[in-house]
Amino acid sequence: METIAARALAARKYAKMTQKQAEAASGVKQSNISKIERGDTGRSMGLLALARAYRVDPNWLDTGDGPAPWDKVQVRPARDNANEPPGPYRVTRTPPSSPSFNPGTPGTVPLIAWAQAASWNRAARETIQAERWIPCVAHHSAGNTYALRVRGDSMTAPSGHMKSYPAESIVFVDTLQTTPADGERVIARLEPSNEVTFKVFKEEDGRRWLLPLNPKHEPIRTAFTVLGTVIGKWEDED
């Protein structure tokens, strides 16, 4: 099955659930379940909840990789691959207070404070004081990815035709991706202030700088270190 829509429909049918029953079991609205099954929406944060309700491999539901629920041998392959292309960027202006999972739950990442981003590493993950753990549908490096709440309006785009990152939206950051391409969004540490910032990475003729999406803010042309690349944003269900 090549599409999320086809897999979502087949998984629900295999679980012998109506859309209304799936809503009750997963907490995902029936209208959103219908959109997913029609292919009217891209990757949704509701996929993880639906996978739990249908008792299927979430990686299979999202990408088609891994065992289908009707396969005899349920051997689950590695679900995270840092070299796979990132998922679609997603955002909401008002991040929800849930879902929240136990620390270290597979498929989730910690939502951390900006002060913690500068010293983040895989070892720190075990002792980090996260606000909560939330699901990350985008492909990411296991143990090396975290989430941040956007601060300020420097990454709020002036046009509705551009990706925008308003204050308090949530971004997912893969810390193994530290060599971004021109135009990718990054978390960087400025030198020598050690301030951590979220900007667009720009590179031309050997020159590197950081660009805000909001034209009211100035580009940053001082030295900096890329701490990670943004691989996704949170989009709440309607």
Is 203 within a domain? Answer: yes
Contact 56, 25 (CB under 8 A): no
What pLDDT, on a 0 to 100 scale, did the predictor assign at position 172?
93
Q: In one letter, which amino acid is 120? A: W
Q: Is residue 233 classed exposed, middle or buried when 0-12, 13-18 and 19+ CB atoms within 10 A define those classes?
A: buried
Please enumerate in sequence order all residues whose Cβ is within 8 A of that of 195, keeping only pairs 6 or more positions apart, or say none: 189
Query: What's the rounded Cα separation, in Å, for the pair 55 and 108?
Result: 17
pLDDT tens across 51-86, in order?
A: 888 888 888 888 887 788 887 654 444 433 334 344
Q: Which domain holds residue 187?
A: 108-233
What pTM, to 2 d.p., does this model score? 0.57
Residue 48 sits in the same domain as residue 118: no
Is 71 within a domain? Answer: no
Total domain count, the chain: 2
User: What integer best gives the mean pLDDT of the chain?
Assistant: 81
Is 100 within a domain? Answer: no
Is 82 within a domain? Answer: no
The CATH number of residue 161's host domain is: 2.10.109.10
Q: Which residues of the chain have pLDDT under 50?
A: 74-95, 237-238
Is 99 within a domain? Answer: no
